Structures are given as structure tokens and as C-alpha cells.
Amino acid sequence: MAEIEYLKGLKAVRERAHLVLEAATQDNLTHFSYYPDLMPGVADFVAGIINRDFGPNRFQEIPPHGRWQHFDIGGVPRVDKLIKGWQSAGHDETEITRRLIDLFFVAVLLDAGAGDFWKFTEPDTGNEYGRSEGIAVAALYMFKAGTFSDGGAGEGGGNKNEAVDGNIGHGLVSLDIAEFRKHFQITANNEIISDISRVSLLQSVGHSLLNLPEIFGDKGDLEISWVGFHLLDSSSSVYSSFDLDYLLANRKDGGNLNYEVLWSVLQKTLLPAWPKNRTHVSGVPIGDAWPLQTLKRLNSDQQTQDGALNIQPFHKLTQWLAYSLSVPFIRVLGLGWDNIDQGTGLPEYRNGGLFVDLGVLKLKGNVLKEGQRNSGQETPSFDATSDVIVEWRSMTVALLDTLHKLIADRFALQGVRISMAQMLEAGTWKGGRELAAKYRPETKSSPIVIQGDGTLF
């Protein structure tokens, strides 16, 4: 059981990835060759992007990596408009944060790869958006329409249909695939990857919310733990075993929230909701964590029956959610987070593509040919849970740590502190996207295409 709990945690993500990086330095990877001498060039590229967009005097404006920025694609401050509407209706900062949590929660869980061609045409502007930002804007309009609430009957700041009635658990359970396709404008000529899987995931999360009344109450109220735990007084009736005293005990003297507590709540909520084909250890689901041949070789002399030593955890979508949910507390409530640096770089195709496009990682010849046979094109393709992709993701986590140290040291010379979350936002994720557009302008795809089910990336 201790090993299972370890694999669920953030520490295991980083530690296991660095074991794989160590193997890479000894040319002992299964699928990739590693060229560490090129890492300073990657740092040059990423630092150049950060300087281009925020230098020389705006480094303090770099936001942490989170969903908020995606809602504002095209320079339209959609989240601020929501907030101003709620303020005009008399809602305080606590209630506004509750509503943002509802919105961010569903928008992140829908945020697996959309594919190269799906677009969302925004009703208010007529602008078209694809990929992650398109999903965010589409989710925002679904939220405003009340699709995620219990029957779409939210109280709403000026809009009675906004999904803020606290019954989001029931709303997600009752989400209908036809309704989703309508709001996401999905047609035979505008298909998104795995719409059925996305809806199924949200339905499963709704059940999970409702099955945890000790955290979310009997209606699946997200805000009971993520806002109320810090702000409601101890006489509030919304708490049971997951009460204010427990969470206050996990704060430090300065009153910051504890990222480890948020992580624990997210894992407890989401692990039962992921698709059943995810990895299990001794019958226990452990989420986005997968066996890896490189780890198996490293641990060949100490194997256990459950194979836990061979597993590389990532928990990417949960980490993306945790990063995203932390932002409203910072921006709206002015609260800080302790232990947020335990979060790792996100092992997804933009960050990982950066290292492939800049030559730090190269598929070995036979593996490249296999991937090209899979895709029928020059760009190789592999299943999301294949050993190739798991090794790539593991190296991505470790290389992002290596890169962050290089970047942080450079900016420290200018008296600027760049956190991991800021580097992801202003540097690596953006850089990976720009390289994809440069080298594959027709599709803007990753240098290695991942065959996913709409619930992993």
C-alpha cells in the first residue's frame, strides 16, 4: 500500500523520471537517443521567447501556467468579463472564486488534444479557435449556458443559466453526448478526437463527486473543499470529516494554502473516475501511470509481484488541473500556496515536442520507422500508452527540471525569479507550439503524433 500511495504522489513523478534521465546519460534508453550537449541551445531558445514577450521590464507579469490564459485567446478578456458581471450582481470574491473553480474544473478535464482540424466558432465574435484554446472557449460557452449544472438552473450573476448552483456533480452525471456535440459544434466536417470519451469522463467525475459527501457534500459541491476550507468559519454546517480544523492544520503561519492538500483532494476525486484501462497495482487504480521498459531494466534485480517498481507516474491532467485551480486563489483572493513547487513540468506533446524538434531527443532508427509505418507519413505516430510515448513523457519531466535550472540561473542574474509554472507558460509550452508551426505548418502537430482517447493529453 505504501508503494501505491507513493505512485499517486508528485514526488514519484519527479523521482522516477530522473532515474530514466540517468539511464539516458548512459545511452540506456529503449526508444530514444539523448544529446545533452544541445540543452544550452534549448535554454537559449526558451529564454529568448520569454525575453521577447516579457522583457525587459514585464517579467513580474508572467502568469503561472493555467487554464485562465486560454479563455482569453484572441486578446478577449472573457474571464474578466465574467468576473465584472458577477461583481455587478453583488457577489463577493469568495463566490466569484467558487464560480471560477466550477468553470476551470470542467474546462481542464475536457482539455485533452482536440486534433489538428477541429475548430470552435465563437458566437459573440465569429472568431475560430482550435486546440486547447478552442476547447476552453467552447467550455466557457457551455458553462454560461448551464450545461454543467443540475438541470441548467443556476442562480447566475445576471445570467440565470450559469453553472454555479452547487449541483455540478448531478450536472456532470446527466451530461448528454448530443448536448456536448451541439455546444462544441461537432459535425462530420468538424470532428474532435474522442468526444464520447470526454463526456464519459465528465460523467464519471460527476459520480465521483457525489460519492465523496465527506468532501463535497451530497450535491457534489466543488467549492466546499476548494474555497470553503480556507474561508468559511468553523461553525459552518457544510463540513463533516473534511473540516476546517483539518485543513487549517495543514497551513503554515503565514496563512498560505497547502498544495499537498489540494493534490490529495484531486487524486481522491479523480482516480476512481479515469477510464478503467488505466494502470492498476494490486487492483488499485493509480491513474496516469504506466509500466516502462527502461525502469524494468533498472530494477531487474529487485522485482516485486505487482510490478510497481517499473511504473512511471505522470498524472498530467490532474497536475494541469491543480496548476489551473491554484490561480483564482492567487488572482482573486490574494492567497499564496505552500509546496506548489512539488508540481512537475507537464509531460505533454508541446513540452515534449520542444526537446524533439531541437534535437535533444531523437527516436532510434528502428523505432522511427515503426512510427512512420503506424502513421503512413513522415511524422511518426504511436499509441498514447505505448512504451515509446511513456519513455518520451518521462524524459520530458526530467528535462523540464534540467531546463528550469538553466533558465532560472540565467534570469537570476537579472534579479528575476522564474518559477517552473511560469517557464511552462511563457517558454516551453509556447515554444513547443511555435516550433510545431514552423516545422509542420499544415497541421502544426507534434513531431511525434500521439494516438489518444481524449482523456489523457
Structure confidence at residue 303 (pLDDT): 66
**Structural domain span for residue 105:** 2-451
Tell whether 227 is covered by a domain: yes
User: Residue-wise pLDDT tens for the chain (457 aa)?
Assistant: 789 999 999 999 999 999 999 999 999 999 999 999 999 999 999 999 999 999 899 999 999 999 999 999 999 999 999 999 999 999 888 888 888 888 998 899 888 777 788 999 999 999 999 999 999 999 999 999 888 876 543 333 334 445 444 456 777 888 889 999 999 999 999 999 888 988 898 899 888 877 776 666 555 555 434 443 333 333 333 322 223 333 344 555 657 888 888 898 889 888 988 888 889 999 999 999 999 999 999 988 776 667 899 999 999 999 999 999 989 888 998 888 889 999 999 999 999 999 999 999 999 999 999 999 999 999 999 999 999 999 999 999 999 999 999 999 999 999 999 999 999 999 999 999 999 999 999 999 999 999 976 677 6
Q: Is residue 358 part of a domain?
A: yes
Q: Distance from first CA to last CA of the chain, Å, rounded? A: 28
Q: In the prediction, which pLDDT does 252 show?
A: 59
Q: State the pLDDT at residue 307.
A: 84
- The answer for residues whose C-beta is within 8 angstroms of residue 263's C-beta and 6 or more apart is 9, 10, 318, 322, 342
* pLDDT reported for residue 310: 95
Please indicate, yes or no, if residue 303 is contained in any of the structural domains. Answer: yes
Three-state SS at 128: strand
Domain-located, residue 456: no
Return the pLDDT at 333.
Answer: 83
- Torsion angles phi and psi, residue 381, rounded to 5: -140, 140
What is the CB neighbour count within 10 angstroms for residue 423?
Answer: 27
Q: Which amino acid is at 441?
A: P
Residue 285 included in any domain: yes
346: helix, coil or strand?
A: coil
Q: Which residues pair with 280 in a beta bridge?
A: 285
- Per the domain annotation, does 404 fall within a domain? yes
- Nearest-Å Rg of the Cα atoms of the chain is 22
Query: In the chain, how many domains are there?
Result: 1
Kindly tell me the burial class for residue 188, based on how many C-beta atoms sit within 10 Å of its own C-beta (0-12, 13-18, 19 or more): exposed
Q: Please give the pLDDT value at position 240.
A: 25
Give me the residues paired with residue 291 across strands: 311
Please report whether residue 457 resides in a domain. no
Residue 253: predicted pLDDT: 60
Dihedral (CA of 297, 298, 300, 305) sign: negative
Predicted confidence at residue 302, as pLDDT, reads: 78
pLDDT the model gives residue 171: 79
Q: Which of 159, 279, 172, 269 is nearest to 214 (CA)?
A: 269
In a 10 Å sphere around its CB, with 0-12 CB exposed, 13-18 middle and 19+ buried, how is residue 231 labelled? middle
Pairing of strands 119-121, 311-313: unpaired
Q: Which residues contact 243 (CB under 8 A, 6 or more apart)?
A: 234
- Contact between 223 and 91 under an 8 Å Cβ cutoff? The reply is no
Omega of the bond prior to 56 within 30 degrees of 0, cis? Answer: yes
| pLDDT in the model for residue 316 | 94
SS (H, E, C) 272-341: CCCCCCCCEECCEECCCEEECHHHHHHCCCCCCCCCHHHEEECCHHHHHHHHHHHHHHHHCCCCCEECHH
pLDDT of residue 275: 85
Is 222 inside any structural domain?
yes
pTM of the model: 0.88
